Amino acid sequence: MTATTDGSGGPVRARAAADSETASAPAPAGRPGERTAADERTGPARRAVARAVDHLLARQDAEGWWKGDLETNVTMDAEDLLLRQFLGIGDRTVTEASARFIRGRQRADGTWATFYGGPGELSATVEAYVALRLAGDLPGDPHMARAAAWVREQGGIAATRVFTRIWLALFGWWRWEDLPVVPPELIFLPKWFPLNIYDFGCWARQTIVPLTVVSARRPVRPAPFGLDELHTDPLAPNPPRPLAPAASWEGFFQRADRALHRYHRVAPRRVREAAVAAASRWIVERQENDGCWGGIQPPAVYSLIALHLLGYDLGHPVMRAGIESLDRFAIWEKTETGAPVRMIEACQSPVWDTCLATVALADAGLAPDHPALVRAADWMLGEEIVRPGDWAVRRPGLAPGGWAFEFHNDNYPDIDDTAEVMLALRRVAHPEPARIEAAVARAGRWTLGMQSRDGGWGAFDADNTSPFPNRLPFCDFGEVIDPPSADVTAHVLEMLAYEGRAHTPRARRAIDWLLTHQEPGGAWFGRWGVNYIYGTGSVVPALVAAGIPAAHPALRRAVDWLRSVQNPDGGWGEDLRSYDHGAWAGQGSSTPSQTAWALLALLAAGERESECAERGVRWLVAAQREDGGWDEPYFTGTGFPWDFSINYHLYRQVFPLTALGRYVHGEPPVGGVPRAGKPRTGALPARKGS
């Protein structure tokens, strides 16, 4: 199931009367026919809200969901072509369309970045270069020669990340012996033992298990060309690296990897084959109904390779469904010349987009029983996950409930989506309120049960905080554990406040966690959005909703920080480099989504009439297109901070609308009085200690 989108992520319907207000917008205070000073001040924002509401409504699918494009970087497209080459299912039309997309993302210096406006990145550049070689581009072509020269300057293939070199090893461009070992026997480690598979975050776990099979089999499909031009010295492509001191963690794991290389040569056959078989069963059991794994591209790619190595032919139902699922991640568009280009999404975000769109429309004044909101609620109710997944390993007695991010991902519901879906459902006056109550009760109990020991919430698992996985030589591709984060914890706290549970022990522990994790400058770190602006824009509204007064020193520090990083044009922006370099915190070109996050915090903190907030609102209004949408080429989301960045194409629509809606209509009520109008009566049953 996929959405048909235009270049900005969805179809566009022009508004017939762009300067009129939404039908549900309340009349301004004062005598009939009299315009108040407040109305004069908010008039441009009201008109912007009206246009944005129509724009967003026009993009809803008939089934009730929204989905914007999820743009990442060209490694997705390159690895898709490499997979098809490895499986022998290459298609010339697909290859040429993907190559056009990859060429179109090359920078003037010959490199590829991992986010808009970012610097060249070595592994992305190598993978893009190899994909273009598969498409027929030659080393002597000017764009290829520039890329190769830059790669050599950066240390060549030997300096790329492990995952890039795994792809090259599949075709004989790199030696398996020169890669870290991930033995399939890992599957046998008990759940209490360090470095068992459940010590890894779910995204890493789903990727590492199939890679243990690949690492054990070490396949090579002869490549159609060499890559000598990407080595600093083709005769010595991988110069030995010095060992770190044995007393250091780096040195310990380096020596452990050497021991695993020796074990690979002498591994008992029966033990090795039993481990491979167990990994194979683990992989197949976690395939989703649509054929994918976890609803994301990387585990699907490596699972297909692993199963193919174990004898699953391309006609096998598991393989066929898996390949078809990857095809659904492809977005086809036309260039100005009419030639097709093909972009691969790393995953799809319909649940996340739909709950955010529902909140935005409701907070913009759309009637809670509007058909669009009811359709959205129906669709979200149908996506509820009511069976256990991997999360149950750490919480075996917890009943299931909640939502995932994607169309199909029953094994990995996440706490962030679940909290936001609950907030969205509470804004809808559904004709069958009992369905809402039952789903919210199940999801609320599950969310409470997923709280980590320290009082915060991670995204997918509870207490996924082992310090060891990130130290493995193999794990250089980004964050591989899932500790509690400020943004997820804030969204859960906001949900609990909305459910009238802000004074429960669990909520108070979450408040303490958030106050403890405030940065010295007043901001909060953003794990799943860029970065301190996202974290701060998530935490401040949650703390206020939970009863922390706007005068609290933590909130005043947050407001002061937001004032200090506001751009001269009135907007806010933050570059992804803030994850690596503190000087970038809150610094970057103004974007609609980040400006909206800053405004959400300011409005919640009582700064609605401040000059700072007014300037932000004016920036959003001025940046709006005539059709009611906004443009945003910058990447403001993350998969892994810095290492894997995301441009959610719907963020530029939903967050500005939410911020402007709250500016016009005020903050959404909390504490048991939903937008739909009637008090709730305990959807989350009180329990001892909760």
What per-residue confidence (pLDDT) applies to 12? 29
Handedness of CA 209, 210, 214, 217 (dihedral sign): positive
pLDDT tens digits along 212-246: 999 999 999 989 999 999 999 988 888 877 888 88
What pLDDT, on the 0 to 100 scale, is given for residue 239?
A: 81
Contact present, 612 and 602 (Cβ < 8 Å): yes
Average pLDDT score over residue span 441-464? 97
Reported pTM: 0.90
In the CATH hierarchy, which top-level class contains the domain 72-344? mainly alpha
Taking 50 as the threshold, does the pLDDT of residue 608 lie above it? yes
Tell me the per-residue pLDDT of 464-479, one tens digit each, with 9 for 90 and over: 999 888 888 777 777 8
Asked whether residue 248 carries a pLDDT value surpassing 90, the answer given is no
Q: pLDDT value at position 472?
A: 82
Residues 341-391 have pLDDT tens digits of 999 999 999 999 999 999 999 999 999 999 999 999 999 999 999 999 999
pLDDT at 24: 38
Is the predicted pLDDT of residue 36 greater than 80, yes or no? no
Residue 634 DSSP SS3:
coil
Residue 598: partners with Cβ closer than 8 Å, 6 or more residues away: 533, 536, 537, 562, 566, 572, 616
Looking at 239-389, list the stretches that DSSP marks H as alpha helix, in order from N- to C-terminal side. Answer: 249-266, 269-285, 297-309, 317-327, 350-363, 371-382
Distance of alpha carbon 599 from alpha carbon 597, whole angstroms: 5
Beta-carbon count within 10 A of 380 CB: 25
Give the N- to C-terminal CA distance of the chain in Å, as an integer. Answer: 38
Rounded Cα gap, residues 396 and 49, in angstroms: 45
Look at residue 26 and tell me whether its pLDDT is greater than 70.
Answer: no
Summarize the confidence of residues 329-334 as an average pLDDT.
93
CA 247 to chain centre: 37
In the set 416, 417, 487, 575, the catalytic residue is 416
CATH T-level topology, domain 42-68+349-450+485-665: Glycosyltransferase (1.50.10)
Determine the pLDDT at residue 629.
97
Known active-site residue 416: yes
Tens digit of pLDDT for each residue in 543-556? 999 999 999 999 99
Give the number of other Cβ atoms within 10 Å of residue 52's Cβ. 29
Q: Would the CATH topology of 42-68+349-450+485-665 be identical to that of 72-344?
A: yes
Average pLDDT, the chain: 90
675-690 tens-digit pLDDT: 443 444 444 544 334 4
Over residues 574-597, the pLDDT tens digits come to 999 999 999 999 999 999 999 999
**What values do phi and psi take at 343, rounded to 5?**
-115, 140
Residue 499 identity: E
Structure-token pair, residue 195: 């470095």
Reported confidence tier of residue 283, pLDDT bands at 50, 70, 90: very high
Return the domain boundaries, the chain.
42-68+349-450+485-665, 72-344
Render pLDDT for 5-14 as a digit per residue (tens, 0 to 9).
Answer: 333 333 322 3
Output the pLDDT for position 686: 41
pLDDT digits (tens, 9 = 90+) for 88-136: 999 999 999 999 999 999 999 999 999 999 999 999 999 999 999 999 9
Percent residues over pLDDT 90 in the chain: 81
Q: How far apart are alpha carbons 501 and 672 in whole angstroms?
A: 9
Inter-CA distances, 383 with 202, 395, 411, 621, Å: 20, 22, 13, 34
Contacts for 84 with CB less than 8 Å, ≥ 6 apart = 90, 91, 94, 95
Averaged pLDDT for residues 422-436 = 96
Lowest mean pLDDT of 304-313, 465-474, 611-620, name the range: 465-474
Query: How far is the C-alpha of 154 from the C-alpha of 118, rounded, in Å?
Result: 16
What is the reported pLDDT for 323?
Answer: 95
